[in-house]
Amino acid sequence: MKTLAEAEQEIINDFALFDTWDEKYQYIIELGQQLPPLDDKFKNEEHKIKGCQSSVWLHCYRDNSKIYFRADSDSTFVKGEIALLIKVLSGRTPDEIKNTSLHFIDAIGLRQHLSMTRANGLASMIKKMKEYAEV
């Protein structure tokens, strides 16, 4: 498995292939479409992330001291955002998840292209994933 830094760099390299934000936006949507489906039993209030304008459900499980995430959203773009986070954070130790700064978000220009509500939603997704690492 790639290190956290390698996973982030891979995303940065992938996004460097696109010239415009529209192309990057479309790529994020495509990443969301590739996300494995989340079992309907996890699409409930218990797994819903608070603070997102769209509905986002996040399921977390542990295996051999590593944390894994599965997620879904009713928004194709938000589903792509959570796919990026899963690509970097899933399969990591709790310490790796808690201590990462997720610098790829700024490096690919994502944060600067989000509306205030989408930026708050992204922050809520990150916060929830880090909270799962605390338990």
pLDDT at site 52: 79
Is 60 marked active-site?
no
Catalytic residue of the set 7, 38, 49, 52: 52
**43: number of Cβ within 10 Å:** 15
Cα pseudo-dihedral 14, 20, 24, 29, rounded to 10: -150
In percent, the amount of the chain with pLDDT more than 70 equals: 100
In percent, the amount of the chain with pLDDT more than 90 equals: 90
Report domain extents, the chain.
4-134
Whether pLDDT at 135 is above 80? no
Whether pLDDT at 10 is above 90? yes
pTM, to two decimals: 0.96
Q: What is the pLDDT of residues 58-108, one digit of tens each?
A: 999 999 999 999 999 999 999 999 999 999 999 999 999 999 999 999 999
Q: What does the pLDDT average to over 45-55?
A: 91
Please name which of 55, 52, 75, 63 lies closest in space to residue 127, comparing C-alpha atoms. Answer: 52
CATH of 4-134, picked from 3.30.930.10, 3.90.1010.10, 1.10.357.10, 3.10.690.10, is: 3.90.1010.10
Residue 32 and residue 73 in contact, taking contact as beta carbons nearer than 8 Å: yes
Q: Which residue has the higher pLDDT, 20 or 52?
A: 20
pLDDT at site 132: 94
pLDDT at site 51: 85
